[in-house]
Chains A and B, each alone.
Chain A
Amino acid sequence: MADVSLRGVSKSFGKVEVLHDINLEVKDGEFVVFVGPSGCGKSTALRIIAGLEEITKGELYIGGKLMNEVPPADRGIAMVFQSYALYPHMTVYKNMAFGLKFAKTDKEEADKRVRQAAEILKLTPYLERKPRDLSGGQRQRVAIGRAIVREPSVFLFDEPLSNLDAALRINTRIEIAKLHRSLKATTIYVTHDQVEAMTLASKIVVINQGRVEQVGPPLELYHHPQNQFVAGFIGSPKMNFVAGKVVSVDARGSTIDYGETQPIVVPVGAGAANPGDTVTLGIRPERMDEGTRLGMVLSGTVEAVELLGEASYIHVRRDDGTLLTARSPGDSQARIGTKISISTGVDHLHLFDAAGIAFPRVSKADAA
């Protein structure tokens, strides 16, 4: 069991810097998820921790020991690859036992561990099969088994579910969460899927263009995103952004003109903002309602309606061209091409400055 700590880690491929000064503390037993759009550097960060990429600048510690120059095998890590990376010419049993042979684990102990892992992952009937005779889900479990038998202090997962179909993905996600609870090993997990991040993580690290945008527990990121990128990335459907102008700032919050009939007062302390500054309002689709019942009213034309059964996503084009998505009840009567008004409560609004940095929320008590 071990902490993982990245201090000022940068990585360049030739002249291109793909990770910029990453600082991150992962505590023992935590389940940390790196999430970000593809090409953001999250996999590179993971491969640096695994020892598969060299660090250009900065330091990596695992269990308090400097790991910059330590080969992958001696870092106490085990990695599960997106492609599973099973040895195609070996049976399931040999795939799992292969690494143990080189770790000088004695035969009986190795056998015990492999059979135990197979039991946990329900792979016992398949031990003598070759990977090509297994389904995708089974292959993925073999890859996880190969990691478990090494009894690593840190588990690394590189997009392990992206090759599975949707139903299997949800199952395996739950299995991984269960596994983490029983093994209690430090886990670092890379994904581009924010749902996986939200459901698995005890701590999410949002990475964008080689920089850490925000680190925190899933709900903190959902409720208090520090910037517009995190706000847009966490949550599904994506948060709506509406441009506005500051009218005035006082203790109750900020008065914002967002181009509809009258300005609204948002319970957000706009701090250094001056009247006339451009700002962006962030509205979660799930906080929006059809009609004009709530404080902030937006109107436009219905462009698409997606009926999911338990909910409907209504896509509304405002007159200035911006597209909004509202999550309505499943029995929504909205029709494509008709004019519609949707409204949202000001208490759940987010406010970002021109550079995309979030203004801190005025707490409920302050707003009252």
Chain B
Amino acid sequence: MAMAARRLNANRLAVHAALIFYTLIATCPIALVLVNSMKSRSAIFGNPVSLPTPATFDLIGYSQVLDKADFVHYFGNSLIVTCISLLLVLLTGAMAAWALGEYRFKGNTIVALYMAVGIMVPIRLGTVSILKMMVGLNLVNTLTALILVYTAMGLPLAILILGEFMAQIPRDLREAARCDGVSEYRIFTAVILPLIRPAVATVAVFTMVPIWNDLWFPLILASGDGKQTITLGAQQFIGQYVTNWNAVLAALSLAIAPILVLYIAFSRHLVRGLTMGAVK
């Protein structure tokens, strides 16, 4: 008994050590950004890993960033693009997953396969064609272009994950609803969606983070004035010869905040979503 308990403790220790190690690797760069964003320029270069002291504490980066009215605007752009893309991915993804899983129709398998291919092939490979398409549609330098691309980018994985969760909902439940005279739309909204809420939260997080952090498509599709997102906006402080590190670090620190709030909002469900099905 005692031996087994000791072995269990050793196991636990090892697991925790590994987890702590990973956490450090993941959070160190972020901590470094946060810490240095609050230091004077000379302190950033002089002693990058030290915490700000009263002597080196300086919020000049933040004031520079916030003084530029554009910056609030970039924030707004990022929020609009992320939120609308997220909404579209979740709504159309859930509907597509339901249709593909529940109804037998011609081309069902083909469409499902097409979606699977979407997961395997990175969307950035199609950048040139996407740009051509956006030029043709007259959507270059609009947030709409970004929203469309991000929706397409998020859909395949969303459909896969939501489809898996929907498949776990017992068939009897949908059929009981059908016998109850509930319309197909109401079965989807009143029975299926409430039951896959954890999965929706999971997909929301997986979809949201890459969109918020993306630099590639804003740079190519919407780099014009007034349409920049926050990640692109932060780049303006990086010059060819001089980089305003205070402002860059402050901008990046600020950019973490909204996504963190959204993450916390979803995370309560996220944990349930990740473990659902594993433990009955």
Contacts and interface: CB of A to CB of B under 8 A. Distances in A.
A54 to B, nearest CB: 11
Interface stretch (A71-79, A214-222, A268-276): A71-79
Interface string B177-189: 1111111001000
B175 A85 contact: yes
Contacts of A77: 179
A146 B179 CA distance: 11
B179 A102 contact: no
A51 B176 CA distance: 11
A221 B229 CA distance: 78
B182 A52 contact: no
Contacts of A102: 180-183, 186
B179 A98 contact: no
B229 to A, nearest CB: 37
What secondary structure prevails in chain A residues at the interface with B?
loop
B139 interface: no
Nearest to B182: A102
B180 A83 contact: no
A15 interface: no
B180 A150 contact: yes
Contact of B182 (A74, A85, A99): A99
Contact of A79 (B176, B183, B186): B176
Contacts of B190: 98
A77 B178 CA distance: 11
A139 B270 CA distance: 29
Contacts of A209: none
Interface residues of A, number: 25
Contacts of A55: none
B180 A98 contact: yes
Nearest to B169: A88
B241 to A, nearest CB: 60
A55 B57 CA distance: 78
Contacts of A146: 176, 180
Contact of B179 (A73, A84, A86, A87): A73
B123 interface: no
Interface in A57-95: 71-74, 77-79, 81-89
A72 B183 CA distance: 11
B126 interface: no
Contacts of A78: 179
Nearest to B186: A102
Contact of B172 (A72, A74, A85): A85
A103 interface: yes
A50 interface: yes
Contacts of B191: 87
Contacts of A84: 172
B182 A72 contact: no
B265 interface: no
Interface in A131-167: 146, 150
A218 to B, nearest CB: 28
A224 B194 CA distance: 53
A130 to B, nearest CB: 12
A95 to B, nearest CB: 9
Contacts of B178: 51-52, 71-73
Contact of A88 (B180, B186, B195): B195
A52 B175 contact: yes
A77 B175 CA distance: 13
Closest 5 CB pairs of A and B: A99-B180, A73-B181, A85-B172, A85-B176, A81-B172
Interface of B: 170, 172-173, 175-183, 186, 190-191, 194-195
Given A84-B172, A86-B176, 19 more contacts: A50-B179, A51-B179, A52-B178, A72-B175, A72-B179, A73-B181, A79-B175, A81-B172, A85-B170, A85-B173, A87-B177, A87-B191, A98-B180, A99-B180, A99-B181, A99-B182, A102-B181, A102-B182, A146-B180
9 contacts: A52-B179, A71-B178, A72-B175, A73-B179, A81-B175, A82-B172, A87-B176, A98-B182, A103-B181
